[in-house]
Structure 1
Amino acid sequence: MVRLLSSLAFAVCLGSPAFAKNPIKNQLNGPVKTVASADVGLRNGNFILAPIPFSNDTIGNGLALGAGYLFSLPGSKPSGIGVGYFETDTGSYAYGLGGSVVFDNDRWSLGAFVAEGELNYDLPIVGALALPVTQSVSGAVIRLDYGFSKTFKAGLGLAYLESNIAWNPSITLPGFLRPDMDVELARLTFDMVHDTRDDTFYPHTGTYAALDLSYGHIQDSVFGGRLTFSDRSYTKMVAEASVFRPIGATGVIAFNAVLCGAGSAAPFFDTCGVGFADGLRGFSALSQLADWSASAQVEYRGRFNQRLGYVVFAGAGAGGNDLTSLSLNLGGSAIGAGLRYRLSKKFGLDYAIDYARNNHGDEFLYLSVGQKF
C-alpha cells in the first residue's frame, strides 16, 4: 500500500502510531507557536479548504481535495476533523472522512476514520519485473487514548479492512501474493506515546517516542468472498522516536528513527520496509518490502519568512527477514531538500515539495501536506 493511501485511509484504518501523533493523518504538521488560551474553542478554529497537487512514485500524479477544521479545546492540544478525496492519472482514487478530538486538558482523545478507494499500481516482484494490479480497499477505525500525564498516554484502536486485488489473468501470480487477493482484516492495536514536544504540529524542542503493538486476523477467500480457504493471524511492532532542537531564531534540527517488525503471515500491504513503514524519502514505497526494517533520518528546517520555509535532509534504512539479517541491500541511503508553503499561519500547516536522490541514483519528487515527521 502506498504512503499516500496511508495518509488518507489505510494507515489510519489500521491505527498507525502517527494517527495518535497527529490530529489528522497524514502528518498535518507545521511550525506554529503553542495556541494561546484566547484561541481555543470551536468558534476560534481554522478552516482549511484546498486542492493539493501531489506526486507519488507508486500511483502517479494527482490532485487531492481536502476540507478540514482545526481547533483547540480549553487546555488541550489541537484537534481536527476533515474530509478528503484524491484521484491520479493512473485511475487511482480514494475518499475518507474522519478526525480526532482532544479534550479534558489532554486527558482523553477520541478518533475515528472511514475510507474507501481503488489503487492501480505496479507491484515489484523480482528486480525490474513488476505486476500491474488493481487493489480495492475499504475500512474503518476507531481509537481511544488516555493521558496518564501531560507527556504520557496509551491507547487502543480497533480497525476493519476489506481488500481485493485484481490482475491480468494471463499473468502467473507470484506465490507470496496469492493469499492476499481477497481478504478481510480485523486488527487490534495498543500503543504508548511519550511526548514532550512544545507543539503538536511543528515542534522546536522536545522528544516524541511511540511503541505500537498490534494483532491482526485475516480471512482469505476467493470468488468474491463466497469461499473461505484459510485464516491466519500475525503480530506487528512499530517503534518510533523523534528529537527536535532549536537552531538560531527560526531553525530546527529534527531526528527520526523507526524500527518495524511484522510476522511472516502479515499481508504485503501491512508488512515493513524502507520507504513504506517509515516514510523515508528516496525509496519506492513497495520495492523494499520486508518483514523487518529500520531507518533513521535527520532534517534541518528553516524559514525564509512567515509563509515560506525550506528543509534539507538525509537518511538511511535497511530491511531483512528478521532483526539480525537487516541489510542495506533492502534499503540504502538518500539525501534531499525541499520547500514549504504555509497553508495555515494559525496552526502552521505546510504544503511540502521535496526532492530526494538515493545511493542507487534513483530520483523522487514528493508533493504532500505537512512534514514527514
Structure 2
Amino acid sequence: MASRQAMDDASGMEQGAARKDRTSFVVLPIPQSNPALGSGLVLAGVAFYQPAGSPRPWMTGAAVLWTDNGSRGGGVFQKAYLRGDLYRVSAFAGGANLNVRFYGIGAGEANRDVSVPIEQSGRAVQLDGLRRLRPNLYAGLRLRAAQVETSLRFEGEASEEFDLESLQLDTRIGGPGLLLQYDSRDSEMYPLTGRYANLQLQWNLASFGSDLRYDRQELSYNHYRSLSPKGVLALRGALCRASDGAPFFDICLFGASNDLRGYETGQYRDRAMAAVQAEYRWQFARRWGAVFFAGVGGVAPSMSDLADSRALPSGGMGLRFKASTAYNVNVSLDYAVGRDTDAVYVYIGESF
C-alpha cells in the first residue's frame, strides 16, 4: 500500500518526532466496486514534504481511475504553505469520462431507486489562494473553470419519468469564489485538537466564460478533541446550497466529501443539503488504529425545507494503517451503511 520509504521514514524515532527533512511517498491502489462506476481501480499517489520554514507539510499528488463500465479519469493537485503559513495555495487539474446513473433531483426521486444511464465527460481546473489575516484566520480567492458534456446511454427506449433533455448538456462553467477559513488544528493529516471552519462562496458568470449563471455555497465545521492518549473524538457538520440555474452535476450531492459515507454519490442530490457526523478514532498500536462513526443528513429543494426532509442516517467502522509516521499519514479502510445501501472506502488520510 505504501512505498518502502514511507514505511521506514521514521525508523528508530518516536512517533510525532521524526525528522521531516525528506519526502515521504504514499502510493495506494484503491479497488472500486459500486453501482455508480462498476468495478475497477484507482491508483493514487501523494508526496509529503516540508520545505524549510513551513509549519505544515506540502502535498503533491496524482490519481488515475479505471473501471469495467468504461469510466476513466485522472488528476493532479498541489498544496503549499508559503512564508511560514502566511499564504496557502492549492491547485487542481483533471479530466474524466464517467458512465454513471442519474436518479433525478430530490430525495423523492432517489427513493424510487429508478435511474437512467448517462455519460459525463469533463475537465476542470481550480486555483485557491488564501492569506492569513490574524492567528488561525485566513481569507482568499478561488478561480474555477470546467467543461462538462453529458449524453444518454440507452439500450432501448428512454424512461418518460425524467426530463431527459435537461441531461443532454455541453456546458462550460466558471467564475470567481471567496474563501474564508478558521484553522486551529494541531495537524492537518491527523488532528488531535483544534477546530477547522471552511466557507466557500462560488459564482459562475458569463464574464468568466460560463454558459450558466448561478451561485453555490458550502460551509463546514470540524471539531477535534483528544479524549485519551490514544483516542480522539472528531465532529463534523456541513451545509450546501445551490441557486436556481445550477446544472444537475453542480448542485449538492449527498455522499460527496464523505458527507455522509454509505451512500452512492449523486443518488441523493438537490439544491440544499445538510449533514452531521461524529467519529471516534482509536490508535491501538504504533501503526494501527480503528474508527467508529455515525451521522445523519438530508437533501431538500431549499434550506428552509431541510427540517422536513427525509432523514438519511449513516454508520460504520474502519481500520487505519500509518503509512508515514514522519507526517502522521494513515491509509484508511471504512465500511459504512446507509438507509438502504452500504459501501466500502479506501483512501489516503482521514475522512475529515
TM-score (norm 1): 0.81
Q: Counterparts of 2:283 and 2:289 in 1: how far apart (Å)?
A: 4
2:176 is matched with which residue? 188
Q: Choose from 324, 341, 347 the match for 1:362.
A: 341
Q: Counterparts of 2:335 and 2:35 in 1: how far apart (Å)?
A: 12
CA RMSD of aligned residues (A): 2.5
> CA offset at residue 88 of structure 1?
1.7
Query: Do 1:247 and 1:253's aligned partners in 2 also have CA atoms closer than 8 Å?
Result: yes
2:9 is matched with which residue? none
Query: Do 1:33 and 1:199's aligned partners in 2 also have CA atoms closer than 8 Å?
Result: no
Flag the 1:357–1:215 CA change in 2: closer, same or farther, 3 A. same
2:269 is matched with which residue? 289
Query: Do 1:57 and 1:364's aligned partners in 2 also have CA atoms closer than 8 Å?
Result: no
Q: Choose from 12, 15, 20 the match for 1:39.
A: 20
Which is worse superposed, 84-93 or 252-261? 84-93
1:79 is matched with which residue? 58
Flag the 1:306–1:90 CA change in 2: closer, same or farther, 3 A. farther
> CA offset at residue 136 of structure 1?
0.5
Flag the 1:258–1:201 CA change in 2: closer, same or farther, 3 A. same
Which whole-Å deviations, capped at 9, do the CAs of 1:283-323 have from their partners, x for residues lacking one? Answer: 22112101111110000001121221110000000221111
Q: Counterparts of 2:33 and 2:86 in 1: how far apart (Å)?
A: 37
Query: Do 1:276 and 1:289's aligned partners in 2 also have CA atoms closer than 8 Å?
Result: no
> CA offset at residue 196 of structure 1?
0.6
Aligned residue for 1:232, secondary structure, equals coil
Q: State the number of aligned residues.
A: 328
Flag the 1:183–1:313 CA change in 2: closer, same or farther, 3 A. same
Flag the 1:124–1:76 CA change in 2: closer, same or farther, 3 A. same
2:4 is matched with which residue? none
Query: Is 1:234 paired with 2:214?
Result: yes
Query: Do 1:53 and 1:368's aligned partners in 2 also have CA atoms closer than 8 Å?
Result: no
Q: Choose from 131, 134, 144 the match for 1:149.
A: 134
Trace 1:267-286 onto structure 2 (pairs within 5 A): 267-276=247-256, 279-286=259-266
Trace 1:302-317 onto structure 2 (pairs within 5 A): 302-317=282-297
Query: Do 2:16 and 2:326's aligned partners in 1 also have CA atoms closer than 8 Å?
Result: no
More relative contact order, 1 or 2 (CA 8 Å, 6+ apart): 1
1:333 is matched with which residue? 313
Query: Is 1:171 paired with 2:171?
Result: no
Q: Counterparts of 1:203 and 1:328 in 2: how far apart (Å)?
A: 34
> CA offset at residue 147 of structure 1?
1.4
1:134 is matched with which residue? 119
Residue 111 of structure 1 aligns with an amino acid whose one-letter code is S
Query: Is 1:102 paired with 2:90?
Result: no
> CA offset at residue 179 of structure 1?
6.0
Q: Counterparts of 1:324 and 1:254 in 2: how far apart (Å)?
A: 27
Q: Counterparts of 2:55 and 2:35 in 1: how far apart (Å)?
A: 37
Flag the 1:354–1:243 CA change in 2: closer, same or farther, 3 A. same
Q: Counterparts of 1:63 and 1:204 in 2: how far apart (Å)?
A: 32
Residue 151 of structure 2 aligns with an amino acid whose one-letter code is A
Aligned residue for 1:199, secondary structure, equals coil
Which is worse superposed, 109-118 or 186-195? 109-118
Query: Do 2:71 and 2:99's aligned partners in 1 also have CA atoms closer than 8 Å?
Result: yes
Flag the 1:357–1:255 CA change in 2: closer, same or farther, 3 A. same
Q: Counterparts of 2:143 and 2:254 in 1: how far apart (Å)?
A: 26
> CA offset at residue 49 of structure 1?
2.9
Residue 316 of structure 2 aligns with an amino acid whose one-letter code is G
- Any gaps of 5 or more consecutive residues in structure 2? 1-13
Query: Do 2:20 and 2:327's aligned partners in 1 also have CA atoms closer than 8 Å?
Result: no
> CA offset at residue 340 of structure 1?
1.2
Query: Is 1:70 paired with 2:48?
Result: yes
> CA offset at residue 366 of structure 1?
1.9
- Any gaps of 5 or more consecutive residues in structure 1? 1-31, 220-227
Runs of 4+ in structure 1 deviating by more than 6 angstroms, as ranges, are 32-36
Flag the 1:55–1:243 CA change in 2: closer, same or farther, 3 A. farther
TM-score (norm 2): 0.85
Query: Is 1:217 paired with 2:205?
Result: yes
Query: Is 1:91 paired with 2:79?
Result: no
1:52 is matched with which residue? 30
Q: Counterparts of 1:349 and 1:199 in 2: how far apart (Å)?
A: 10
